[in-house]
Structure formats: C-alpha cells, structure tokens
Chain A
Amino acid sequence: MKKMIFSAVALVAFSFAGMANEIVEKKVEEASTERDCIAEAKAAIKYMQFLGADEADVLYVAQIVRASCEASK
C-alpha cells in the first residue's frame, strides 16, 4: 500500500515536472537531497532494539518514523 501511495506521489510530481523544464530541474535538485525514509525507519528499528524495546513498540516507532518522513517529502 505504501509503495502504491509513494508511486502515486512520484507520478504526480513527474507529471507536473513534465510541464516545464524549469520545474524538472528543480525536481532533480530536490531528489538529490531527498530523505531516505526506509533508511530512517531501519535506523529507528536498530535504536529501539538496542534499548530493549518490545517488538510491538519497535514496529510502532518504525511506522511513525516512516510515515512522518514520507509526509515531509
């Protein structure tokens, strides 16, 4: 589901970008500094596990880290 949502957002961004070269250039710039949400979620999992969190809480934090990262894009 997240993959689909993420793809849909990317498609919309691409369509808008296709309207003008200036926008394409801007998107490319943005892409180069884009956050890696999967990496952030993985880092959160590692952090929680290191501190002995229960699996359910590890999942909870990984989910909110991923979601807030995606929302910030």
Chain B
Amino acid sequence: MFFLCPLYSQINKAIYSVSINNKEDIDKTSPFNSYYKIAQENSNQFTFHLIFSKDSSDFFINDNLELEYHSFRMVKAFSRYQGFVRKTKNKTFIEKEIDNKTYILEEKTVYNWTLTTETKKIGSYNCYKATAEKTIKNKIIVPITAWYCPEIAYQFGPNGYGNLPGLIVELQIDNVIYGLKSINFDDNTIKFKEIDFEKIISQDKYDEIIKEKMKFILDE
C-alpha cells in the first residue's frame, strides 16, 4: 500500500456553510420534493471543511452525528457534494463511497472560467466574480459562479472547484451556495488526510459498478 499525504509547513482551514435554495424549474408536484425539503431544512446544521496549503487541498463534509442518517444523506445529496475531494494544482481526486466500499476517481473535468471585473466585499475581503458551466451526465448544463479573493492567494475552493487567482469564498452551483464562515491560517494542528491510492479506479469501471447497482434496484 502506498499513501500520499502532502507535507507543507503552512496549512490553513476554511469552514463553509451551505444553503440549498428553491429551484424554479423543479417539478412542484413531484412526490420526492419532501426529500428536497428535508435537505433545505437541515442544511444549516452542516459545515464543510477546506484544508489547504499552497499546493493541495482537502474538502469534506463535517458529519453532524446528532442528525439522523436520512437527513444527513439528503443534505449531502442536494448540496451537490461529490464526496471527499483532494485537489492539487494539476489533479483532482474524489472519494466515492458505495455500500460501505470506497473508490477513488480522478476528476477529469476542466472548468473554463470567465473572469469578470464585478466585485463584492465578503467579510473583509474584496472578491471578484468568475463564472463557468458544468455539464452533468444527463446533459443538464449547470451554471457556476465563484467569488474568489486575490488577497487570499490560494487557488482552491469548495467541492473541488478552484484554479482561480484566489481562494473561492463563495461558490454557487445552480441553486446551491457555499459561503465562507471562518478561516484559520497556519494551524499546525490541521493535517491532510492520508489517501490510499490503491483504491483508485477508472471512470468506466466506476460507471459499470453504478450501472450494476441500478440494474439490481430496477430488476433489469
């Protein structure tokens, strides 16, 4: 087994909250809207952590053990959270957990950011707006808006987003908004997670696993 754990002197931690807003084009008669409502009502009970250095970041949901499992899953599902994300300058790895088994995928999506001159003061930081789009599997185009702060010269952000000239302090993925709650610089008690890259699988293999599990549920 080999592990990869970045070792850098200055490690920082940003804590984000998430807000799951109403979505205009949602089917208002859907029987599954109750799940969405659970996520909306409980999202304020969760925080997301970004551990970052100059060269690497870890992003993950902070489990709220006081909340029942179903509510946790709904917040996770509707906050566009992909799983634990390790991001370096050139590569992004996402940990996926299915039926208590962990898989690591290399994210190949490249975001073509459009940098604008629009600014916003977030806390004490002067931030700039950048926009991009993400196409998800079923061909749905999702608009992305990031507010990044060049004053915090790190190229990371929530949910694996980044590669901008400053930390993303606010990220909007369609109707979901991640906002910076607090930031702690140079904390030597913070550590990057050890990642077992023996669990890495190809996207095709992962898709196959998902397909098989779907078939089982749908009796196909």
Report B-chain residues with C-beta under 8 Å of the C-beta of A3.
Answer: 219
Report B-chain residues with C-beta under 8 Å of the C-beta of A11.
Answer: none
Report B-chain residues with C-beta under 8 Å of the C-beta of A29.
Answer: none
Report A-chain residues with C-beta under 8 Å of the C-beta of B174.
Answer: 52
**Does B113 sit within 8 A of A, measured CB to CB?**
no
**Does B37 sit within 8 A of A, measured CB to CB?**
no
Report B-chain residues with C-beta under 8 Å of the C-beta of A19.
Answer: none
**Does B65 sit within 8 A of A, measured CB to CB?**
no
Contact call B82/A54, Cβ cutoff below 8 A: yes
CB < 8 Å: which of B32, B82, B218 contacts A47?
B32
User: Which of B83, B98, B213, B218 has the most A CB atoms < 10 Å from its CB?
Assistant: B218
Contact call B214/A60, Cβ cutoff below 8 A: no
Report A-chain residues with C-beta under 8 Å of the C-beta of B70.
Answer: 64
Number of residue pairs A-B, CB distance < 8 angstroms: 80
Given known pairs A47-B27, A54-B83, the reply for A62 and B217 (CB within 8 Å) is yes
Interface residues of B in 2-45 (CB under 8 A from A): 23, 26-27, 30-32, 35-36
Interface size class of B (residues with CB under 8 A): 35 or more
Question: Residue-by-residue, is B158-185 near A (CB-CB < 8 Å gives 1, otherwise 0)?
Answer: 0000000000000001101000000000
Distance to closest chain B CB from A60 (angstroms)? 6
**Does B138 sit within 8 A of A, measured CB to CB?**
yes
A48 to B138, CA, bound (A): 11
Partner-contacting stretch, out of B73-81, B124-132, B147-155: B73-81
**Does B97 sit within 8 A of A, measured CB to CB?**
yes
- Which B residue's beta carbon lies closest to that of A66? B217
Contact call A61/B83, Cβ cutoff below 8 A: no
Contact call B219/A56, Cβ cutoff below 8 A: no
**Does A42 sit within 8 A of B, measured CB to CB?**
yes
Report B-chain residues with C-beta under 8 Å of the C-beta of A51.
Answer: 23, 26, 36, 77-78
User: What 7 pairs across the A-B complex have the smallest Cβ distances?
Assistant: A57-B77, A53-B77, A47-B32, A55-B210, A52-B80, A62-B217, A56-B98
B contacts, CB < 8 Å to A: 23, 26-27, 30-32, 35-36, 70, 73, 76-78, 80-83, 96-98, 136-138, 140, 142, 173-174, 176, 210, 213-214, 216-219
